[in-house]
Amino acid sequence: MPPGVRLGIDVGSVRIGVARSDATGVLAVPLDAVPAGVDSWGAVSALAREWEAVEIVVGLPLSMDGSEGRAAVLAREWVEQLSERTDVPVRLVDERLSTVQAQRALHSGGRTTRQSRSLIDSASAVMVLQSVLDANGSGEFSGGGGAAP
């Protein structure tokens, strides 16, 4: 994987969670989520330019059996729209359980569900992106992420 900043995206119906990596591809950190809707693609494209991203990784919410439900279809449609608005390569990765893992991490840090609502989307984006970064270092995907079919 070439060096450079990567963006991680968790597509939600209310907010789009966003994370970025450091330039060495070791650590993912959250950025502010952007509101979902027609301006979300432009906002993410602007963040890719701002951070000089070399790739955008978008979580694909597959069912536990690997099938695609409505959320996965919406994520694919969102990626199509984003791809039309940026020259940065965009790829989908399996994000099963990333939101659950993010909620657990926030709760273990002492945050209640109410306190974590505004953070959960970007925390999920961190989980998606970190799984890709970790896989690059270890040669395999772990946790709630992985290569999407």
The region of weakest confidence among 14-18, 57-61, 84-88, 105-109 is 105-109
Supply the pTM of this predicted model.
Answer: 0.78
**Average pLDDT over the chain, rounded to an integer:** 82
Which among 32, 42, 39, 38 is positioned nearest to 10, based on CA atoms?
Answer: 32
Give the integer Cα–Cα distance in Å for 18 and 52.
15
In a domain? residue 81: yes
In a domain? residue 38: yes
- Crossing angle of helices 98-108/113-138, nearest 10°? 120
What mean pLDDT do residues 113-135 have? 77
DSSP state of 103: H
In a domain? residue 63: yes
What's the CATH code of the domain at 69? 3.30.420.140
Residue 51 in contact with residue 41, Cβ under 8 Å? no
- Per the structure, how many domains does the chain have? 1
